[in-house]
């Protein structure tokens, strides 16, 4: 009977020790996984932003879907220009004298493909994919033109839910992460780039995720 009680006590000690260990290391492991995946997702979003800005520079608006964005990368052309100051003398009928006129002269230097300028390989074909192992998920992407102070301005937004990025993590810790409000965290339940209501190409992540760049 004594041996049986000792065995039970040893089992309880092991169970309690594991629970204590897990309560300490669980959040640590969660944060390590979270930060690694967030960095990978945000790096992919930065690539999307780079392509979207190029799309707007060439076409005047953002792509509303990844098929259009990829097609643009493959076929788009940048025009290389040089701006320089110049001046000339012109007769002014009001003052009846020759007056100096200053102008900006734009010279076309050549053309270069968007793909060769922005991407060194075919990685752009995977821009739509959320780079997390074990899932097959796509980013959500939308574009629009909004009225801002009387001007029509192109905007875009790309986002993915944290529930997708951290799909296999502890549900209680994930719930806490979705409710995060912090100056050094990714606030809210989604990782978001851009905005459909504001003129912005920034993300809702802290600057620590930009430090490597």
Kindly state whether residues 166 and 138 are assigned to the same domain.
Answer: yes
Kindly state whether residues 87 and 53 are assigned to the same domain.
Answer: no
Kindly state whether residues 70 and 149 are assigned to the same domain.
Answer: yes
| Pick from 213, 197, 188, 196: nearest CA to 205 | 188
Kindly state whether residues 90 and 44 are assigned to the same domain.
Answer: no
pLDDT of residue 91: 81
* Boundary (domain end) residue, out of 112, 130, 161: 112
Q: What angle do CA 164, 168, 169 make, to 5 degrees?
A: 100
CA dist 201 and 198 (Å) reads 9
Alpha helices in the chain (DSSP H): 2-59, 66-75, 114-118, 162-165, 171-178
Kindly state whether residues 69 and 93 are assigned to the same domain.
Answer: no
Is residue 29 in some structural domain? no
Phi, psi dihedral angles at 120 (to 5 degrees): -95, -10
pLDDT of residue 90: 85
Kindly state whether residues 71 and 87 are assigned to the same domain.
Answer: no
Is residue 32 in some structural domain? no
CA dist 162 and 150 (Å) reads 36
Q: Structural domain of residue 129, as residue ranges?
A: 39-75+120-210
> What strands lie across the sheet with 151-161, from one edge to the other?
140-148, 151-161, 190-195
Is residue 7 in some structural domain? no
Is residue 16 in some structural domain? no
Q: In the chain, how many domains are there?
A: 2
Is residue 19 in some structural domain? no
- Exposure pattern of 123-139 as b/e (b: 16+ CB <10 Å)? ebeebbebbbeeeeeeb
CA dist 156 and 127 (Å) reads 15
Kindly state whether residues 62 and 157 are assigned to the same domain.
Answer: yes
Kindly state whether residues 62 and 140 are assigned to the same domain.
Answer: yes
Kindly state whether residues 69 and 83 are assigned to the same domain.
Answer: no
| Three-class DSSP labels, 80-105 | EEEEEEEEEEEEECCCCEEEEEEEEE
Given a contact cutoff of 8 angstroms between Cβ atoms, the answer to whether 145 and 154 are in contact is yes
Given a contact cutoff of 8 angstroms between Cβ atoms, the answer to whether 101 and 89 are in contact is yes
Binned average pLDDT, 10 residues per bin, the chain of 213 residues: 64 58 73 95 97 96 97 88 79 82 78 89 95 95 95 97 96 93 88 96 91 58
Kindly state whether residues 150 and 57 are assigned to the same domain.
Answer: yes
pLDDT of residue 131: 96
Kindly state whether residues 160 and 204 are assigned to the same domain.
Answer: yes
Is residue 6 in some structural domain? no
For 179, the token pair is 């409710």
Kindly state whether residues 55 and 107 are assigned to the same domain.
Answer: no
Is residue 34 in some structural domain? no
CA dist 78 and 58 (Å) reads 7
| Pick from 90, 112, 118: nearest CA to 103 | 90
Residue 209: how many other CB atoms lie within 10 Å: 19
């Amino acid at each position: 009977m004594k041996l049986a009680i000792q065995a039970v006590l040893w089992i309880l000690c092991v169970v309690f020790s594991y629970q204590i260990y897990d309560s300490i290391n669980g959040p640590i492991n969660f944060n390590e996984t979270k930060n690694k995946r967030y960095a990978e997702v945000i790096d992919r979003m930065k690539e999307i932003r780079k392509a979207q800005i190029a799309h707007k520079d060439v076409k005047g608006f953002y792509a509303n879907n990844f098929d259009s964005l990829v097609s643009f990368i493959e076929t788009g052309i940048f025009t290389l220009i040089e701006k320089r100051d110049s001046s000339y003398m012109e007769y002014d009928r009001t003052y009846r004298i020759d007056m100096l006129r200053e102008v900006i002269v734009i010279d076309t230097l050549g053309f270069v493909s968007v793909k060769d300028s922005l991407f060194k390989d075919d990685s752009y074909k995977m821009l739509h994919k959320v780079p997390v192992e074990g899932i097959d998920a796509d980013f959500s992407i939308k574009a629009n033109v909004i009225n801002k102070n009387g001007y029509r301005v192109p905007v875009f937004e790309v986002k993915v839910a944290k529930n997708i990025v951290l799909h296999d993590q502890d549900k209680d810790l994930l719930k806490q992460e979705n409710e995060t409000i912090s100056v050094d965290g990714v606030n809210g339940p989604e990782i978001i780039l851009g905005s459909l209501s504001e003129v912005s190409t920034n993300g809702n992540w802290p600057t620590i995720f930009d430090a490597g760049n």
